[in-house]
Amino acid sequence: MSHKIAESFDSAEKPLRPAIVAIPARDEAERIAACLTALSDQQQCPDAVVLLLNNCADATEAIARAVAPRLRYRLSIVSRDLPRQHANAGCARRLAMQLAAAKAGRTGVLLATDADTVVPPDWVGRNLAALERGADVVCGRAVVDPWEAAMIPAHLHADDALECRLIALLDDIAWMLDPEAHDPPPRHTEASGASLAVSVDAYHRVGGIPAIACGEDRAFVASLWRMDARVRHDPGIKVVVSGRIEGRAEGGMADAIRRRMVQQDEYADEQAEPAEDAARRYSLRSRVRQAWSARRTDGGLAADLDVAAELVAGAVSGPFFGSAWAELERLSPVLRRRRVRFAELSREIERAEDVLRQLAPADAMAAD
């Protein structure tokens, strides 16, 4: 990392303030009051909340305005009728965060959540504390409302448990082979717009939320990681989200639940991959990290990646390790991702557990 960039991400001389929350909403009349009230009940209240109403056709705005006088923060309500090609969750969040950033100033903090989400009383405080400890972006966990979760068929919960188990085991493999000191266990692997916090400086460095229809939250966090921002997946930060099957965001959780109620997806989440692939991936990532730190590489790494030596050398000479790794992942046929079918989850869980058992002795000796 260049000195200039490192100085930008490492600066933490004073608490990051003000804290502005950004919420995109579309036809959330049933839930918006609970969402806004939960933000007012914080132990450490936000300075302001920006509520971006995206093509609303119900009473969301009227309810928000009725609640506003009882809130402990400044509520800014912005109503927009976005053109059809931009009337989606990703573009709405992008705009909400832009409006929040304008209020936060260069030293502020942006927090993102959703209009169907209820945050716990320590949500703002925990996010600010994680940022003040050195994180550039903080990812919280999204937990489905228990009452609504009870209405989701049992087989979907079983599928989700297997999927989450494999992803968690793969993350354990990542930690053992290529640990990142700023994101130690216990941690998780989510990057949900229902709970994000980011310094304004880091937010601007990647150009804000990507202008894509869905998956903007994961893409945003990935772009920060590529610039070597310190991404913290804090398991102590949890929010309650809707488990409804009639969602507002195309491609979101509600779509997945509704689709899987009819028929199991062929493939699990894109984070899931065969255990042997994960072990190879994170072993190679560790070697690329070392090459990037030393600003030099050798033919052995290029051969193992099956990428031309000059391309590997060019990648590791760049200012960011994350960008170097992303480029080599794109170029290397060895690192091409293979998806895991739902029918294969149990078998891959066993294989991941075997990989971890094989790694554990070496890890223990290294610790000694």
Going by pLDDT thresholds of 50, 70 and 90, the confidence category of residue 256 is low
Contact 129, 16 (CB under 8 A): no
Cα–Cα dist 98/194, whole Å: 17
What whole-number distance in Å separates Cα of residue 196 and Cα of residue 273? Answer: 25
pLDDT tens by residue, 297-341: 888 999 999 999 999 999 999 999 999 999 999 999 999 999 999
* Cα 134 to Cα 9: distance, rounded to the nearest angstrom: 8
Residue 368: pLDDT band with limits 50, 70, 90: very low
Helix axes 32-40, 60-67, angle to 10 degrees: 30
Report the distance separating Cα 128 and Cα 235, nearest Å.
15
**Cβ atoms of 304 and 284 closer than 8 Å:** yes
Would you say 30 and 56 are in contact if contact means Cβ atoms under 8 Å apart? Answer: no
Mean pLDDT of 115-131: 98
Element (H, E) at 25: strand 19-25
Torsion of CA 167, 171, 177, 178, to 10 degrees: 130
- Mean pLDDT across 144-166: 90
334 touches 148 (CB < 8 A): no
Residue 116 dihedral angles phi and psi, to the nearest 5°: -100, 20
Distance of CA 61 to the CA centre of its chain: 28
**284 Cβ contact list (under 8 Å, min separation 6):** 301, 304, 305, 332, 334, 335
Provide the pLDDT for residue 95: 97
Indicate the pLDDT class of residue 6, thresholds 50, 70 and 90: very low
Q: What is the pTM of this model?
A: 0.89
pLDDT value at residue 5: 31
Contact 22, 110 (CB under 8 A): yes
Residues β-bridged to residue 118: 240
Arithmetic mean of pLDDT over the chain: 90
pLDDT score, position 11 = 36
The average pLDDT across 271-296 equals 97
Rounded Cα gap, residues 135 and 20, in angstroms: 17
Residue 9 scores a pLDDT above 80: no
Task: Name the DSSP class of 137.
Answer: E
Q: Residue 99 above 70 pLDDT?
A: yes
Write down the pLDDT at residue 174.
98
Query: Averaged over 150-165, what is the pLDDT?
Result: 89
Amino acid at site 87: A
User: CA-to-CA distance for 282 and 176, rounded, in angstroms?
Assistant: 9
User: What pLDDT was estimated at residue 151?
Assistant: 82
Alpha helices in the chain (DSSP H): 3-10, 32-40, 60-67, 89-104, 123-132, 146-149, 154-177, 200-205, 216-226, 253-262, 275-294, 299-305, 309-316, 321-331, 345-367
d(CA 33, CA 77): 13
Q: What are phi and psi of 74, to 5 degrees?
A: -80, 125
**What is the tens place of the pLDDT at every residue in 58-83?**
999 999 999 999 999 999 999 999 99
pLDDT of residue 351: 98
- What is the pLDDT at residue 243? 78
pLDDT digits (tens, 9 = 90+) for 190-202: 999 999 999 999 9
Nearest to 269 by CA among 211, 155, 189: 189
Q: Summarize the confidence of residues 265-271 as an average pLDDT.
A: 84
Token pair belonging to 118? 């209820």
Q: Quick one: what percent of the chain has pLDDT higher than 90?
A: 80
pLDDT surpasses 70 at 247: no
**pLDDT confidence of residue 274:** 98
How long a stretch of residues is the chain? 368
Q: What is the largest CA-CA distance in the chain?
A: 66
What band does 154 get if pLDDT is binned at 50, 70 and 90? Answer: confident
Asked if residue 251 has pLDDT above 80, the reply is: no
Distance CA 107, CA 14 (A): 9
